[in-house]
Amino acid sequence: MERPAWAPPGIDISVPSVSRMYDFYLGGSHNFEVDREAARKALEFLPGLPKIMQANRAFMRRAVRHAVAEGITQFLDIGSGIPTFGNVHEVAQAASDRARVVYVDHDPVAVAHSRAVLEGDDRSAVVAADLRKPREILHSPEVGELLDLDRPVALLLVAVLHFLEDADEPYEAVAELLDALAPGSLLVLTHASYEGIPVSQERAGGAVGVYRDIRNPLVMRSHEEITRFFDGTELVAPGVVSMPRWRPDDPDEEEDPFAFSGFAGVGRKA
């Protein structure tokens, strides 16, 4: 198997990665044949996966602009994946020249590619760390240098919590991160759910099975379980809703039915 020039040495390119599959769904080029193969299998069950990813990205951009409008210029994006066009630092820096962004991911390809994209940008950085270990993220030199945790931060957990099983203690991880942030900070998240998917749960379960087979279980949670992540925050209207329904730029826009799969929300720490 040929290793592309951009692939960091030492990574196993025979094992699919969720961040590279996500890159493939979005039309990116930083993925291997093994990722494309797994993604195509998932698409057989859920042909609307690219639409779901696009809705995720569109929500993320609206939430970032909302944060800047609220006076927040610091962003901690965990599970950030491979930077594609219109990523957090681009949206935030276009909205404010004071914006600072720290990306966090545990996929070596995502980290290496993020570093390449951010080269020469002294207002953004990337940390190789895992959401399951909040302390490592919070005490990283990059967070220490770029973010002032005594001032409000927007914490982004977009399309990442559904890769944490209950045994990984995702609620505790989110609570620990929020606990370290100043009052007025925002929690921005999206999460997969069987609710809203325009196919049967059995068929959607086929796509979930693909992720289980590549040892990256996709945990579908209910609206109520997803809302629990916002404990300790005050939900920003309209609450925890389908991604296109969270403060759409154009309420009349005709969305693909798959875009309404899963939920998104923003909460403000009191």
Q: What is the CATH number of the domain that holds 58?
A: 3.40.50.150
15 in helix, strand or coil? coil
- pLDDT value for 84: 75
**Is 97 inside any structural domain?**
yes
**pLDDT tens, 116-161?**
889 999 999 999 999 999 999 999 999 999 999 999 999 999 999 9
Please give the Cα distance from 174 to 50 (Å, whole number): 27
Domain count for the chain, please give it.
Answer: 1
Query: Distance between terminal CA atoms of the chain?
Result: 52
- pLDDT value for 253: 63
- pLDDT value for 266: 98
- pLDDT value for 6: 67
**pLDDT tens, 172-189?**
999 999 999 999 999 999
Contacts of 156 (CB under 8 A, 6+ apart): 60, 63, 64, 75, 76, 77, 78, 80, 88, 188, 189
**Is 42 inside any structural domain?**
no
- pLDDT value for 2: 65
**Is 15 inside any structural domain?**
no
- pLDDT value for 117: 85
Q: If you search the block for the tokens 């826009």, which residue do you land on?
A: 253
Domain span at residue 79 reads 49-269
**Is 13 inside any structural domain?**
no
**Is 229 inside any structural domain?**
yes
**Is 27 inside any structural domain?**
no
Radius of gyration for the chain, computed over Cα atoms and rounded to the nearest angstrom: 17
Q: If you search the block for the tokens 């370290």, which residue do you land on?
A: 180
157 with 76: CB under 8 angstroms? Answer: no
**Is 136 inside any structural domain?**
yes
**Is 24 inside any structural domain?**
no
**pLDDT tens, 91-112?**
999 999 999 999 999 988 889 8
**pLDDT tens, 21-47?**
999 999 988 888 999 999 999 999 999
**pLDDT tens, 217-266?**
999 999 999 999 999 999 999 999 999 999 999 876 668 999 999 999 99
